[in-house]
Amino acid sequence: MSIIFECEYQGRRYAGHGLPVPGSPLTLYPVADGQLRAALFAGHGPEDLGSAVAGDDGRIEVDPGDAGLRFLPPLLPTGSDNALINGFMGTHRTKFDRAPEPDEEFTPPNYYIKGFGSWLRLPGEPLTTPADPVWLLEEPEVVLVYANDDQGVPHYAGYTFGNDLNDIGLHLKNPWAWTPYAKLCETSITPWLFLDTPPEQVTGTVTIEREGAAAWQGGFSCGADSLFHRVPDMAEYLFSHPLLRRPGLVNYLFLGADKATYHDGFRIENGDRMVLDVSSHGVVLANEVRYGTTAPE
C-alpha cells in the first residue's frame, strides 16, 4: 500500500514516500502548496498522488530527527487555510443494541465541526484543552481526506489517523446542546496519507502515560468493519451539503471512535501522554495533554 507525506524543511515544502525508518534518511521532493491536490484532480484517484511525488530536481535527503523538519497534515493548504476538521459521532456498532440490516435505509449519525485545518496538531505536539475540563476522552479514529476542485467537486485522496480529544464529561451534562463546547480541545493527526480506499480493519492500542509510566492501556478498533454506518453513505450524505463543496476546501473527515478510557472509569489528567499505536498500519500518534489557561479578566 502506497503512503505519501508532506513537510516543511528550511522554508520549503517537500513531499516523500512511505513511513520513516529509524536510522535511514528521508528522501524529499520539492512541491508547491497545492501541487499534490492538483495532481489528484487531474488523475483518477489517490494512486495518482504517489506518482506526482518524484523527480531529481531539488531532491534532498534529511534525517527524520532533524530539528528543522516539520511534517504537515495531508494536503493542508497552508497558503489559504481553506481546510475543515469535521466528523461523525456514535458510529460504532458497540454503541447500538443491534446489528444493521444488509439493506437498511441510511440514517445519518450525529455530526460536528471541530475547526480549521490549521488547528490540527502533529505527533509529538501537545494538545491544549480548556483550563478545567470535566472528563477528557481520547478518540482514535480513521480520518478520510477529501479535496474539492475549482468546481467544488470532492475528490477522495486517501486516509490517515487522528485523535479527536474531547471533554465527554461536559458533553454528557447536556448532550443536546453542549457537544460543540466539549469538542473545543485540540485534535492531532498523523501526516501519513494512505493512498487506498477507506480501511476495513484498523486495530491498535491506547496507552496513557503518566510520569513516564503506563497508567492505562486498552485496545481499539476503528475500521469500517467496526462501524454501524456504511462509509460511502456517510460521505455521500455529508457532501450533499453545498457548503462542504466550496471550491478549494480540504475536508478532514473523522469517522468516529469506539469506547475508551472514560468507559473504563479512567480520567486523563494534565500532563498525561496519550499514545495511540495503530499497530495494523504501523503508525504511532503520541501527544501530551496540556490544560489551557483561564481567560483574562
Instruction: Tell me the domain boundaries of the chain.
Output: 1-72, 81-291
Q: Is the pLDDT of residue 297 over 90?
A: no
The CB density around residue 280, as the number of other CB atoms within 10 Å, is 14
Each residue's pLDDT tens digit, 112-135? 999 999 999 999 999 999 999 999
Nearest Cα residue to 19 out of 277, 281, 230, 245? 281
Each residue's pLDDT tens digit, 151-187? 999 999 999 999 999 999 999 999 989 999 999 999 9
Mean model confidence pLDDT for the chain: 95
Each residue's pLDDT tens digit, 194-230? 999 999 999 999 999 999 999 999 999 999 999 999 9
Q: Is the pLDDT of residue 295 over 90?
A: no
What pLDDT is stored for residue 34 in this prediction? 94
What pLDDT is stored for residue 44 in this prediction? 76
* Cα 121 to Cα 86, 230, 294, distances in angstroms: 14, 28, 21
What pLDDT is stored for residue 102 in this prediction? 85
What pLDDT is stored for residue 121 in this prediction? 98
What pLDDT is stored for residue 47 in this prediction? 83
Give the pLDDT band of residue 286 (cuts 50, 70, 90).
very high
Across 82-225, the runs of DSSP E, i.e. the strands, are 83-89, 110-116, 127-129, 136-137, 140-148, 154-163, 166-167, 188-189, 193-194, 203-210, 213-221
- Any idea which fold 81-291 has? Fumarylacetoacetate hydrolase; domain 2 (3.90.850)
Each residue's pLDDT tens digit, 232-270? 999 999 999 999 999 999 999 999 999 899 999 999 999
Contact 111, 4 (CB under 8 A): no
Determine the residue type at 4. Answer: I
CA angle 173, 175, 180 (to 5 degrees): 100
φ/ψ of residue 282, rounded to 5: 75, 25
Strands 203-210, 188-189: pairing kind? unpaired
Q: Is the pLDDT of residue 61 over 90?
A: yes
What pLDDT is stored for residue 174 in this prediction? 95
What pLDDT is stored for residue 168 in this prediction? 97
